[in-house]
Amino acid sequence: MAYRKTVASFVAAAALLGTSSASYAATDIAWWHAMGGRLGEVVVDISNGYNASQDACKITPVFKGTYEETLTAGIAAFRAGEQPNILQVFDAGAATIIGAKGAVIPAQDILENAGANFSIEDYIDGVRYFYADSDGKMIGMPFNSSTPILYYNVDALKKAGVEAPKTWEEFAEIAPKLKEAGYVPLAQSHLPWIFTENFKSRHNLQFATNNNGYDGSKDTKLVFGEPIKNHFTAVKGWLDDGLFGYYGTGWGDNQTPFNEGKVAMWLGSSGSFGGIAKTVEFPFSATYLPYWDAVEGAGTGTFIGGAALFAMSGKPDEENKCVASFYEYLTSPEVQYMWHKETGYVPITNAAYELAKSDGYYDSTPAAEIGIKQLTLPGGDWTKGYRMGFYVQIRDVMNREYGKIMSGDTSVEDAFKTIEADGNKLLERFSKTTGN
């Protein structure tokens, strides 16, 4: 009996020792993210995979709500000195966090300080410089990266006897046939992202002064020329002729009619791929975002949307080392390929893309490759992205004015005048927030 007791106490003590030594050895790091639903589950899978892959660090992902809520929570925590090690910030918030000099440690620095190999050339073209500074140093680690592409209902196009359009000129030709076949030919889910930011990139047009805003926030101004105004005039005409459907600013409100088979083609995110595949009952496929052939130099690649991971400053070195080692794990081809397959977001490194190709993923599902192929199309001077502050409000202004165009409350010309005036005012105000 006594012997048994001794053994039991030894076992208990050993177990206790085991747990305590493990918890002392592992450095805890926190990751605040905005990935809800299925995406959140994959985030947890990635974290668990990382924790299982090594003993030194333990990452804990915390869901913080929408993109805007996550950024606001991160800011409040930073001011209270309680910031997480990694904060996920979306494209429109990038200027806010990068503009606050000293809030983040650049991804490139944190990796190089930890002795990791870093080369920006390893990342695919459309991803590389979006979260970089004007010198091309990577500040945020791109995480969930997507780009707008055209999804189409294969049955609908067959019924109308048409092919998916490559250009907007082609769309204008086939749209009446789709309407005759009983469909609303086209809808889209995000006018500022798809018909403004990526419109600029797809046509290689300047979006803002100061190198699209990358060279500093002072005196940055929006640039709107004839092509984008002509585009909105055409879109409004299609809407009036029943060739285009506009269902408001909500993403889902515009995607639902496509999922239900009422709308034949829908412009959405390459990251929507997984969701559509699970929802729709008709065969679907995808192709590139159309462009206007009439615009000279058009047909260039798009850049990414989505969000990036930012390493917050003010943390001890050993925690920063853990962040670096997590970044290395995250960007490894296997993890990127898993993320790509599970969610539809593009793999961010060339190696991961090669792995997906060699694995034969795109032979079975060619539509999954459209996003990344579009991002690797030849670029130009204006295809690496944009950097503008108070951009959330600027997008709100665009949505408001575009909504007015669609409902006929204002003309295209007046709407763009208002967007320029209100947007430039916001940019001017933002440049004062950084104190210079």
In the set 50, 78, 329, 345, which binds other proteins (CB under 8 A)? Answer: 78
Q: Which helix (H) or strand (E) holds 285?
A: strand 284-287
**Alpha helices, DSSP H, located in 54-160:** 67-79, 94-99, 107-113, 125-128, 154-160
Q: What sign for the dihedral angle of Cα 345, 348, 351, 353? A: positive
Tell me how many residues contact other proteins (CB under 8 A).
50
Q: Residue 15's Cα: distance from chain center in Å?
A: 45
**407 contributes a contact to other proteins by CB under 8 A:** yes
Shortest spacing between CB 46 and other proteins, in angstroms = 26
**216 contributes a contact to other proteins by CB under 8 A:** no
Q: Which is nearer to other proteins, 125 or 422 (CB)?
A: 422
**206 contributes a contact to other proteins by CB under 8 A:** no
In the set 41, 219, 409, 413, which binds other proteins (CB under 8 A)? Answer: 409
**211 contributes a contact to other proteins by CB under 8 A:** no
Contact 236, 428 (CB under 8 A): no
Stretch that binds other proteins, among 40-48, 94-102, 138-146, 219-227 (CB under 8 A): 94-102
User: Amino acid letter at 217?
Assistant: S
**239 contributes a contact to other proteins by CB under 8 A:** no
Contact 143, 331 (CB under 8 A): no
**66 contributes a contact to other proteins by CB under 8 A:** yes
Q: Which is nearer to other proteins, 246 or 339 (CB)?
A: 246
**253 contributes a contact to other proteins by CB under 8 A:** yes
Shortest spacing between CB 11 and other proteins, in angstroms = 50
Contact 249, 232 (CB under 8 A): no
In the set 30, 43, 59, 75, which binds other proteins (CB under 8 A)? Answer: 75
Q: Work out the angle between the directed axes of helices 226-240 and 412-433 (0-180°, nearest 10).
A: 130
In the set 131, 151, 238, 247, which binds other proteins (CB under 8 A)? Answer: 247
In the set 60, 233, 350, 393, which binds other proteins (CB under 8 A)? Answer: 393
Q: Shortest CA distance to 131 belongs to which of 90, 167, 76, 73?
A: 90
Q: What sign for the dihedral angle of Cα 12, 13, 17, 20? A: positive
**195 contributes a contact to other proteins by CB under 8 A:** no
User: Amino acid letter at 127?
Assistant: V
Shortest spacing between CB 403 and other proteins, in angstroms = 3
Contact 127, 304 (CB under 8 A): yes
In the chain the first and final C-alpha atoms are separated, in Å, by 78
CA distance 291 to 125: 19
Contact set with other proteins (CB under 8 A):
66, 68-69, 71-72, 75, 78-79, 93, 96-97, 99-103, 246-250, 252-253, 256-257, 260, 390, 392-393, 396-397, 399-404, 406-407, 409, 418, 422, 425-426, 429, 432-436
